[in-house]
Amino acid sequence: MKLKKVKRRSTFSEIWRNYRKSFSGMLGLVIIVGILATIFVGNFIYDYDTDVIGQNVAERKQAPSAEHFFGTDEFGRDILTRIIWGGRYSLAIGLAAVLMSSIIGVIFGSFAGYYGGVVETIIMRFADIFQAIPAIMLGICFVTAFGQSIFMLTIAVSIGAIPAVTRVTRASVMTVKDMEYVEAARAIGANNIVIIFRHVLMNAISPVIVQATLRIGGAIVGIAALSFIGLGITAPTPEWGAMLSSARQYLRGYDYMALYPGLAIMVTVLGFNLIGDGVRDSMDPKLKK
């Protein structure tokens, strides 16, 4: 057991060492840390009621200027302020959704892969059913049925990814479960659940982690997409996708309203994609093991 612990510590620092070598990974990290810092600082600079949703009808629909870097919207609210404030929802829901889908997917996938037989069949058929329905339709159905609370939105965004995570985990677990150290553990008499979590998962988890980091961007776009069609975060709370949706009315003549929220989404997703690339590059040698 002691040996194992030592091995794990060096695993993490090994990964970090590899990560630092990846240019895209570091660039992504810089971008995301920058975004997080901006949101964090913005939380203290801005007051929700006056700055974020406070209206100033006289100043509405003003093009970007020195006073309002990104212009104002139809209510006279400063767009830059709203973008900075709105970032928290996209990031929080995006990250939570990926965490949720990863955890649920890993649990189901490992049971399916480890036990096989009837358990596997049932789990995989359910995965098929949920994968057959297009992810966005699933999200729409969930939100329409259960409302648009933050919790429900997180579920709606995560649900499309669960089958895929289940599949990957199962494949990974299946590869690992026949390996020697698992047999060794069984020989010692370790309990099944313990075997799954301690031995199988620890080694099978790498592809899941890599895919998860790559999925964050998709989740952020997912919540933006739901808000874009009106089934996400509700007004007047700023959310990047919702801001794009209201900008559609003003595309002609006020295109800046559509430009900046979308740019925010793109830069954030880019950051996470770069991080994902970096994670993949740094964990690749481990995979090939």
Partner 1 sequence: MYRYFLKRLFWLIPVMLGVSIFIFIIMDFFPGDAADTVLGEAASQEQLEAYREVHGLNDPVLVRYARYMFNLLKGDMGISYVTGRDVFKTYMQRLPNTLLLAFTGMGLAIIVSIPIGIITALKRGTVLDATLMILTLLGLSMPLFWLGLLLIIGFSLNLGWFPTGGAGSLKHLVLPALTLAVAKMAMLTRTTRSSMLEVLNADYIRTARAKGVSKKKATLKHALRNALIPIITVIGIELGSSLGGSVLCETVFSWPGVGRLIMDSISKRDIPMVTGCLILTTMIVASLLLLVDIIYAFVDPRIKAQYQRKS
Partner 2 sequence: MKKCVSLFIFLLVVTSLTFAGGAKETKAVPATGGYQEELRVGINMEPITICTPTKGTNVMCHMMSFSTHSTLVTISDEDNAEIKPCLAESWEILNGGKTIVFHLRKDVKFHNEEAMTSEDVVYSFTDRILKGGTSRALLSSVVSVKADDEYTVRFELSGADQDIFYTLAAAPSCIINKKAVEAEGDEGERYGTGAFKIADYVQGEHVKMVRFEDYFGEKPKTKEIAWVIYLEDSARELALETGEIDICYAPANSDLPYIEQNANLKLISVKGLNVYYVGFNTRTAPYNDEYVRQAIASCIHKEDAITVAFDGLADAVDNVMAPAVPLYSHVDGYSYDPVAAKALLAKSAYPNGFKAKIWVKLTEEEQMALVFKENLTQIGIDLTVERLEATTLKASWNNADYQMCLQKFGNTAGPGTSFSYVFTSTAPANRSKVNDPYVDSQTAAAAVEIDPVKRLGMYKDLNQYITKKAYWAPVCVPQIFIGVKASVQGAVYKGNGSHNLTYAYIEN
Which CB atom, from 240 or from 254, has the smaller least distance to partner 2?
254
Asked if 174 touches partner 1 (CB under 8 A), the answer is no
Q: Residue 64 touches which of partner 2, partner 1, none (CB < 5 to 8 A by kind)?
A: none
Measured at the alpha carbon of residue 47, what is the angle toward residues 42 and 50, in degrees to the nearest 5? Answer: 130
Min. distance of Cβ 3 from partner 2 in angstroms? 50
Asked if 161 touches partner 1 (CB under 8 A), the answer is no
Considering only residues 96-155, where is the footprint of partner 1 by CB under 8 A? Answer: 125-126, 128-130, 132-137, 140-142, 144-146
By three-state DSSP, how is residue 271 classified? helix
Other CB atoms within 10 Å distance of the CB of residue 81:
23
Min. distance of Cβ 57 from partner 2 in angstroms? 5
Asked if 229 touches partner 1 (CB under 8 A), the answer is yes
C-beta of residue 92 within 8 angstroms of C-beta of residue 283? no
Sign of CA dihedral 155, 159, 160, 161: positive
Which CB atom, from 107 or from 224, has the smaller least distance to partner 1?
224
DSSP string of 145-156, one letter each residue: HH---HHHHHHH
Q: Residue 270 touches which of partner 2, partner 1, none (CB < 5 to 8 A by kind)?
A: partner 1
Asked if 89 touches partner 1 (CB under 8 A), the answer is no
Asked if 21 touches partner 1 (CB under 8 A), the answer is no
Q: Residue 146 touches which of partner 2, partner 1, none (CB < 5 to 8 A by kind)?
A: partner 1
Give the residue among 207, 202, 173, 199 at the shortest CA–CA distance from 288.
Answer: 207
C-beta of residue 234 within 8 angstroms of C-beta of residue 148? yes
C-beta of residue 223 within 8 angstroms of C-beta of residue 159? no
Q: Residue 269 touches which of partner 2, partner 1, none (CB < 5 to 8 A by kind)?
A: partner 1
Asked if 249 touches partner 1 (CB under 8 A), the answer is no
d(CA 265, CA 272): 11
